[in-house]
Amino acid sequence: EAQVTQNPRYLITVTGKKLTVTCSQNMNHEYMSWYRQDPGLGLRQIYYSMNVEVTDKGDVPEGYKVSRKEKRNFPLILESPSPNQTSLYFCATFGTDTEAFFGQGTRLTVV
């Protein structure tokens, strides 16, 4: 079964404490992306990766890092989280077809 798996699903953390949200896909897709969802703003792209070791900024990259050392994994790193990064995060992967596949989401709260 085609899957995009994010962990954790829920996370509460304190300002400044580094955290990583993992994303893994089993579809052998080259393209992966991170989005954040905020009320009234829809989903906005944070970073994307066209392939291993190739990453680039999306529309809202400030305060985030990513890495793509293997094709299946695309972790999102918050080096020093702040309350304005409280949001719902989605990982997505795209194949050669037009459709995107999304993870179940990670709800992050930074206090």
CB nearer to other proteins: give 1 or 99.
99
How many whole angstroms separate alpha carbon 21 and alpha carbon 87?
A: 13
Between residues 1 and 42, which has the closer beta carbon with respect to other proteins? Answer: 42
Among positions 80-99, residues that touch other proteins (CB under 8 A) are 90, 92, 94, 98-99
Interface mask toward other proteins for 52-71; x: CB under 8 A: ------x-------------
- For 16, 17, 44, 96, the CA distances from 93, given in Å and listed in that order, are 29, 28, 15, 10
* Least CB distance to other proteins at residue 6 (A): 9
The CA-atom distances, in angstroms, between 44 and each of 35, 53, 54, 92, 111 are 5, 22, 20, 12, 22
Residues interacting with other proteins, by CB under 8 A? 31, 33, 35, 40-45, 48, 58, 90, 92, 94, 98-100, 102-105
